[in-house]
Amino acid sequence: MKIDTYGDSKNPVALLIHGIFYPGVTSYRSILPILEKKYYIIVPNLDGLSYPKTDFVSARKQGERIIEWLKENNISHIHFLLGSSFGSSVAFEILKDVSLSIDKAVLDSPALKESKLHGMILYFEMKRTAKDFRKNGINAFKHFDKYRYFDSFDKEYCLKVYNTMDDKTLKELAFSCYRYRLPSELYRDDTEIKFIFGEKDKSKANLPEVKELKSGEIKIVEGMSHLQYMFEKPTEFLHECGVI
């Protein structure tokens, strides 16, 4: 797993874990310049969602690899943990490791549900996206409103990631988002946890599971869709996260 870092390593640590449609740091262009002023930012490139090509592994295994890297680099205290979409499943695995001290954790548009139907729907969406990328290249981005935030550099990187994915990887990624079983309780008394959903976000399908967990505040942002709050109102988003 390739890990990107930004900012001064002497600053408090912010660990940002991306989702499926916005690989690597492409997820965080809006908030990176703000966070970089006061945080040491760590952005893992999740296996199966990076370029050069890597083999996809489960959220649990992704979490283990990130924790291993943190320990190798003598990092045991995380001030801010952000999981975005599928990255929230990986972030949740990191929250389970009580050897790490974590001050604040935000799960944005979290994928924390067990549902074959939702997995199948996401698989077909990803398959259409990958097919369009292969057929139309950079022009395919005109067909997807969710990529309106990307500059040309991030479009090129996203194309490289998706053009290396075979159907097996697409299927594993899609179903892994909806193969996540939450524990009955999360033992994290020292961590302030918040779940953020856009009012128009498909991820709201996960609300029943999140409410049942009773492990943090739930914020529903009026008028917003999937990850839109972070992309379009980065300063307000980070205020909501309690980190600026």
Distance of alpha carbon 127 from alpha carbon 23, whole angstroms:
16
The parts of the chain modelled with pLDDT lower than 50 are none
Distance of alpha carbon 93 from alpha carbon 110, whole angstroms:
13
Provide the pLDDT for residue 241.
98
Provide the pLDDT for residue 184.
64
Helix 152-163 crosses helix 116-136 at what angle (to 10 degrees)? 110
Provide the phi-psi class of 101: left if phi over 0, else alpha when psi is between -120 and 50, else beta. Answer: beta
Which token pair is 216?
């943090």
Provide the pLDDT for residue 168.
93
Provide the pLDDT for residue 64.
98
Contact between 51 and 155 (Cβ < 8 Å) = no
**Tokens 């262009």 -> residue:** 29
Contact between 116 and 233 (Cβ < 8 Å) = no
Provide the pLDDT for residue 188.
83
What sign for the dihedral angle of Cα 208, 27, 144, 163?
negative
**Tokens 């917003």 -> residue:** 224
**Beta-carbon contacts of residue 130 (< 8 Å; ≥ 6 apart):** 162, 163, 165, 170
Domains of the chain: residue spans and CATH: 2-113+183-241 (3.40.50.1820)
Which token pair is 136?
């139309």
| Residues β-bridged to residue 45 | 2
Provide the pLDDT for residue 205.
87
Provide the pLDDT for residue 187.
76
Q: Strand, coil or helix: what is 90?
A: helix
Distance of alpha carbon 84 from alpha carbon 89, whole angstroms:
9
Provide the pLDDT for residue 212.
87
- pTM for this entry: 0.96
Provide the pLDDT for residue 186.
76
